[in-house]
Chain A
Amino acid sequence: MFRTSNKFILRLLALAALVVPTLIGCGTQESEQEGMELVMWHAYRGGERAALEEVIGSFNAENADRGVRVRLLAVPFDAYADKLSAALPQGKGPDLFIFAQDRLGGWVESGKTVEPIGFYLNPTDHQRFLPGMVDALTYRGAVYGVPLNFKSLALIRNADLAPTEPQTTDELAAAARAFMVARPGEFGLSFEYANPDFQGALFNAFGGGVVSDRGEAILDREQNRKAFELLLKWRDEDKILLPEPTGALVLTLYNEERTPFVISGPWFLGEVDPALNTIVSPLPIIPEADGAPIRPWLLVEGVFVSETAPSSLEAFRVAQYLTSPEAATIFALKGRQLPTIKAIYDDPRVMNDPILSGFRQQLESSAPLPNIPEMAHYWTPGTTAMTQVLRSGRPPADALAEAQAEMDRSIAEMRRSGQ
């Protein structure tokens, strides 16, 4: 026994002697490099990713003499938000990252996540951006991100199947029905109407909405009810809607030219067949809503700085670089994104692009997605309400009332627990 335990200890020590130096070696890479390396996360793929890498490549080249470089890391989208929420407070996250504004309120409230950068912005900086961009990234008076690009839903149509741009929803319904008469068995208007993201567009048009600025749920409103009723009319009376839509289904049908009208965002176009004659135009106005246009939610993607970044000033400089006109051109033309700076829209290459100009026009009638934490309490009850109305045939007023009650309850609980 005595001898074995000796051997055992010796073996353990030998093993430790191998393992420990490796572990130590892992931790001290930084001391070898001069200057500062900033880690930046994003969830882009394809063309968007290529554009970002090109811009960052230029940044690194121009700042090489100062010793500042940016290292990009692509994170798959599914886990992106959760990874950020988990890693940043621990100090294990990136120094910079690109994200939309929908989680901003939650991050600020839970703390240790994002750093306000409003200090670095002066009035001329504000002027560079389209109206509403910086506001989307502002929470309780503090600006947290530099707006990079925006996206929203718009009307995407196959101009070969539907040559005219519908101005009102009645025209849209008529055109859809005409298509369905000519092609029986197909569907005129395809979009994921069961998805609560899409529902907001109609709510906003009628003057309703989900949460007020003060974080109260405003679901149970006459205006929202009317929005549901319009949707039901399209489905049950006009019968132009695709049943059981999913994103994949909508894409397939559009690419196979079996549907002329799709409501979706720029992400959709990344997978659309380029051979098709696709035109993007603003969503039509709703006569029933006193001529108000459909107001899709505006998502603004910004460059955020983490609280644990070694230098918030350097990080801000990177963000500024990303929103320079040169960078914006690359994002627009190569990444097919919509930059937030005004200057880019004077460039004829952008304005003549039927897709980019369409989304730009839609901006005029979109409403920013609220970035307050109370918004996060909408999605589950909202989905439930939609399902009840669309599948089980529950009256919209009842479904909205119940969803409102659920939101009120969970918001109150969230506030209580934060004490």
Chain B
Amino acid sequence: MTTADASLGQSSSSVMRSLWRDRRIVDAVLGVVIALSVGLGVIMWTARSASDGLDTAASAGSAIFKAEMAALGGEAVQNAKGADAVGPFAAQYKNQTGVEALSIVSAPDRILLADGTGAAPRPLGVGDKDLYDRVVRLAAHAETNEIEGQKRKPEILIAQSDQGRYRASAPIRSADGDIVAMAEVETAPVVAGGLRLLLWSSGGLVFGIAGIVFAMRQFPGLGTQKARAGLVVVVSGLILMVIALGVSAQIAAKEEGVLSSLALAQENAFAAAEAAAAAQGVTLSKEPSATSVRSLQARGTATLFRDSALFVVAGATLMSLFGSLGGARRLGQTFVAHRSAYAYVAPAVLGALLLVFFPLIYGVLMSFTDTTLFNVNTPIMERWTGLSNYGAILGDFDIVQRTADGLRVDYQNFYWTVFVTLLWTVSNVVLGVTIGLGLALVLNTPGLKGKTVYRILLVLPWAVPNYITALTWRGMFHPQFGVINQGIELAGGERISWFDHFGTSFLTGLATNVWLSFPFMMVVSLGALQSINRDMYEAARLEGASWWQQFRHITLPSVQPALIPSIILSVVWTFNMFNVIYLTSAGEPAGANEILITKAYKIGFEQYRYGYSAAYAVIIFMILFVYGYFQVKATSATEAKG
């Protein structure tokens, strides 16, 4: 009681100052602010988009019903009374329904049957191309749906024009059932009611902060970390929950309104069409049909919103811990204390974000979708398939099949490709290190004449761009005209069809890549060898060690700290060595000799299955990441020995 009186007596600025100095309160307030701003921000944004979605559904639905009924009536009138009657029908229909524009077009004879003014039919002019194209498109969609046996393409076109109007185009069928004409309307957009979002969110924020401060000052016992975190979680969780449910209720109400207004619109449109047709002496026999399916785009919006909102509430509440446990405050202090350092680093961080992190995250996101060439432009949520790509890749265990001519390996299988990749990596690194180290030992002989010349020559393979090397080797392995087979023949052997079998095809890539990679290992080993103290070898010689023993006990351990990081690098590079495999053997025969990265490329850019390929790439990344992590730990490779 007394503390409260005392605090009321002080000026507000000194109150604020004393609050600021109390770290526990600052942390708690930060926690609440973080949770509420994130949570309320996401909820309000989702609510806004849900509301807009309902508005769109209302407008589009209204337009669609009007177009549909215009098509229905127009078709009936034309069949009964001929083309000239369509104009007046359309004019009256337009007046009654209040649409802003109405056209009825026939495609094969290129005639505008009605433009809503009641005028006689006229041929299409140059400016009517869009109308014609839309009729053709409706026909195309219907054909596609019929071929594929599914309703993949919309059978009534809906679009929003620049002025915000909604344009719906409904098909008119001929006697044979082909789509030959179209009725199109433009309507003004419908706003189905607003939501009071700003009031709720700002109120929630203020209430939350005030409540926390009040509670912390009244109950000092809440100053401990656990209590503080708990208090913040409870307060922010409660506030967010209340607001989420409240907004959810508003959206549900709006949804109801939209659905009922659409039902009404459908009835009114039919009534108008009936009336306009009757004025031409035609009775409409058909009932409006299953186009009410369209309105279902609105149904379920509220439920979806509520579910996602609760999810957001949980997440945001958890985020409050970052603030209430002091993390936010410390981060802020760091930024302020080192602001010039952050300023210098900022451009590089920005560059890394744009060039590295953004594509990486985009790729990871895409791996959870089934993006292909055809649906790149659709909204991402529609392409979402979760982990199904990963399941398809990792769950395919049919590596070997039993067929009529014995066992056959399915070369497109992921695990086969993993096997080839591992075999490829291991054999290349082992050979590259052995040859590189061996050559370095030779080059390191004291008193070797012409050492510089040898070094330059031996580094040349590394200097040549590796795709040129790969193509050259491919030429050399040509069964007919390649130099290797000709050499074999000269030596009395038989030509080998290198690319016909997995084993020989693998060897072509191996030869090429070892040729490419040994210079790097040689240079690294040479550098390490030259830094070894000669005395150790002399001491070992005196002690009676043979050349091999000296190598094992002195050379290898001394070269190890330089070799191990190089080997890790080489493993990663070889694992992803796209050029050699793709250009030398191109995965022959029939994809048997592919490694993971070439397979991912083929899936992505020859089969255009971007989502699947992205999942492949993420799997490659995870494999290498795990390998690198354990390799560095196991060898403590970054520490020098002695």
Interface set of A (CB-CB < 8 Å, partner B): 1, 4-5, 8, 82, 85, 89, 106, 109-112, 115-116, 118-120, 139-142, 214-215, 242-244, 249, 312-313, 373, 376-377, 379-380, 383-384, 387-388, 391-392, 395, 398, 410, 413-419
Contact = CB atoms under 8 A, between A and B. Distances in A.
Given A1-B340, A5-B340, A110-B374, A415 B609 contact: no
A36 to B, nearest CB: 16
Contacts of B481: 249
A395 B408 CA distance: 13
B628 interface: no
13 contacts: A106-B374, A110-B374, A110-B377, A119-B129, A141-B136, A141-B140, A142-B136, A377-B607, A384-B591, A391-B497, A398-B404, A417-B372, A417-B383
Interface stretch (B146-154, B166-174, B451-459): B146-154
A244 B479 contact: yes
Interface string B358-386: 00000000000011111111000011000
Contacts of B16: none
Given A85-B373, A106-B374, 16 more contacts: A89-B376, A110-B374, A116-B133, A116-B137, A119-B124, A120-B129, A141-B136, A244-B480, A373-B374, A384-B591, A392-B501, A410-B609, A415-B148, A415-B150, A417-B374, A417-B611
Interface of B: 124, 126, 129, 132-133, 136-137, 139-140, 143-144, 147-148, 150, 152, 340, 343, 370-377, 382-383, 403-405, 478-481, 497, 499-501, 588-591, 602, 605-609, 611
B532 to A, nearest CB: 47
Contacts of A1: 340
A214 B373 CA distance: 20
B143 A141 contact: yes
B480 A89 contact: no
A380 B606 contact: yes
B591 A142 contact: no
Contacts of B499: 391
Nearest to A316: B129
Nearest to A406: B412
Task: Identify the interface centre among B343, B373, B480, B605: most chain A CB within 10 Å of its CB.
Answer: B373
Contacts of B133: 115-116, 119, 142
A244 to B, nearest CB: 5
Nearest to A376: B608
A312 B128 CA distance: 12
A388 B589 contact: yes
Q: Which 10 A-B pairs have the closest CB atoms?
A: A140-B140, A391-B500, A387-B590, A417-B370, A142-B136, A384-B590, A119-B129, A119-B132, A214-B147, A110-B374
A414 B152 contact: no
Given A244-B479, A391-B500, A418-B152, A410 B377 contact: no
Contacts of A139: 140
Contacts of B405: 395
Contacts of B132: 118-119
A419 B382 contact: yes
Contacts of B148: 215, 415
A79 B374 CA distance: 19
Contacts of B602: 380
Contact of B607 (A8, A313, A380, A391): A380
Given A1-B340, A380-B606, A410-B607, A392 B589 contact: yes
A215 B147 contact: yes
B136 to A, nearest CB: 4
A111 B144 CA distance: 15
B372 A414 contact: yes
B373 A413 contact: no
Contacts of B404: 398
Nearest to A187: B480
Contacts of A413: 370, 372, 609
A253 to B, nearest CB: 10
Max chain B CB contacts within 10 Å: which of A119, A377, A413? A119
Given A376-B608, A379-B606, A313 B126 contact: yes
Given A380-B606, A413-B370, A398 B147 contact: no
A418 B374 contact: yes
Contact of B373 (A106, A115, A142, A244): A106
A392 B340 CA distance: 66
Contacts of A8: 343
A120 B127 CA distance: 11
Q: Which of A85, A115, A418 has the most CB of B within 10 A?
A: A418
A85 B372 CA distance: 13
Contacts of B373: 85, 106, 110
A402 to B, nearest CB: 9
A240 to B, nearest CB: 15
Given A312-B129, A376-B608, A116 B136 contact: yes
Contacts of A110: 373-377
B504 to A, nearest CB: 11
Given A119-B133, A380-B606, A392 B590 contact: yes
B606 A398 contact: no
A395 B405 CA distance: 10
